[in-house]
Amino acid sequence: MEFTSYSGRKRALASNTARKAEFDEIPTISLLGEEEDLIAQLREACTRVGFFYIKDHGVSQATIDAIFDTSKRFFDQDLDAKNEVHYKKSSILRGYEPTAEVQTDETKKPDLNEAFNCGYQPDLDGQRQAEEGSTRAPIQSAMQGGNVWPLQPGFKAGVAAYYSEVLALARRLVRLFATVLGLPAHHFDGVVTHPGAMLRLLKYPAQDPKQPDALGIGAHTDIECFTILAQGRQPALQILNVEGHWIEAPPVPGTFVVNIGDMLARWSNDTMISTVHRVLNITGQERYSIPFFFGPNYDTVVHPLETCIAEGEVAKYDPVVAGDYVYERLAKSRISKEEAESKATLQTAVAV
């Protein structure tokens, strides 16, 4: 069997049955380790697995608990209240996604989850607020624009507290990944000042294990550079290993799950692996999770790095503009072709 992601990548699929991971299949990495050891562990994880757990990450447990509480209170509202911020009211697909309106794997039924999406804005960025005002020209992108916020008391404040802490962690990881790729640690700093960083709150109902075409999220690879995932208490995440078997990635207290996305795979000329994964919630209980998708400023031109192209090899990918790439991928699973084509594309770009 074979699976093809929205990015066009093909993966072997041995079966639909998942198993528990072996001890070293999904490594756990402490961010407090010695830098040389840390870089070596990250290099192994990013080039061999594409998924790993991180601990000692610096995001407070109180902040994590609070965002899960904020998420639950939002989804507990009636449908009319949530639909006030329906994503189709946003030109950049932000807001509330009702159950079964998104189809991540086109070979399966629509996804069994409901979600709320928001993206970068300066008042969610604690680092930017601590600096003096930026003179950077506004970014022109198909994905650029404001968030829509529900009227739920405390919602935006709860999101902002979590977003700011995880954004700081993401910027730290970017520097580590630069080092893994043989670049100066600060190589990407200039293109993550106003990053394409989307936070997604998710609620999954319990699924019927006898309906294999119904998944919490269908098999896919992530779009942006990498994802920092806070899992709730219920195990449901499964990743596709190199042998084509699904293996479970259960919640581990005190950790985030990090996985490489397609944009960083492109940027690294496939030095780093973007791994297929899905969500199958057959626990009999509701499941909550909170992924944070991190990519560069939306006007960044992403092309394979010279340090990732060996002598005698060629770049595997053409340049893409980050915001256009994200919008096109999101639109495929959410809106009609006609709706997507009506959106203006990026006019200006900055190469790195």
Encode pLDDT of 224-246 as tens digits: 999 999 999 999 999 998 888 89
CA distances from 255 to 17, 60, 75, 293 (A): 26, 11, 24, 16
Can you name the residues that pair with 86 across neighbouring β-strands? 96
| Tally of residues, the chain | 352
Kindly write down the DSSP assignment for every residue of 157-210, as one continuous string: HHHHHHHHHHHHHHHHHHHHHHHHTTS-TTTTGGG-SSEEEEEEEEEE----TT
Secondary structure E strands in the chain:
2-4, 10-12, 18-20, 28-30, 51-55, 95-97, 114-118, 195-204, 217-220, 226-231, 237-240, 246-248, 255-260, 277-279, 287-297, 300-302, 320-321, 350-351
What confidence score (pLDDT) does residue 331 get?
A: 78
Instruction: State how far Cα 123 lies from the chain centre.
Output: 21
Check residue 90 and give its pLDDT: 87
Mean pLDDT confidence for 336-351 = 44
Mean pLDDT of 27-38: 95
Q: Tell me the C-alpha to C-alpha distance, in Å, between residue 302 and each of 104, 317, 326.
A: 24, 9, 12
Q: Is the pLDDT of residue 312 over 80?
A: yes
* Angle, alpha carbons 294-295-301 (nearest 5°): 180
> What's the pLDDT at 349?
39
**Axis-axis angle for helices 35-48, 155-180 (nearest 10):** 90
Q: Regarding predicted confidence, which is higher, 219 or 5?
A: 219
Q: Which two tokens stand for residue 296?
A: 């560069």
The CATH number of 2-351 is: 2.60.120.330
* Weakest mean pLDDT among 5-14, 55-64, 210-219, 305-314: 5-14
Q: Which residue has the higher pLDDT, 272 or 139?
A: 272
Distance of alpha carbon 333 from alpha carbon 331, whole angstroms:
5
CA distance 273 to 275: 6
**Cα 26-32-34 angle, rounded to 5 deg:** 95
Position 316 confidence tier, pLDDT thresholds 50, 70, 90: very high
- pLDDT value, residue 350: 39
- Quick one: pLDDT band at residue 127, thresholds 50, 70, 90? confident
**Average of pLDDT values for 48-63?**
96
pLDDT of 274 higher than 80: yes
Average pLDDT over residues 147-151: 94
pLDDT above 90 (res 27)? yes
Q: How far apart are CA 59 and CA 164, in angstroms?
A: 10
Instruction: State the pLDDT at residue 105.
Output: 80
Average pLDDT over residues 337-348: 45
* pLDDT tops 50 at residue 343: no
pTM of the model: 0.89
- pLDDT of 69 higher than 60: yes
For range 123-148, the mean pLDDT? 69
Tell me: the pLDDT tens digits for 168-221?
999 999 999 999 999 999 999 999 999 999 999 999 998 887 876 779 998 999
Counting residues of the chain whose pLDDT is more than 90, the rounded percentage is: 67
Mean pLDDT calculated for residue range 265-286: 94
pLDDT(128) > 80: no
| Whether the predicted pLDDT of 328 surpasses 90 | no
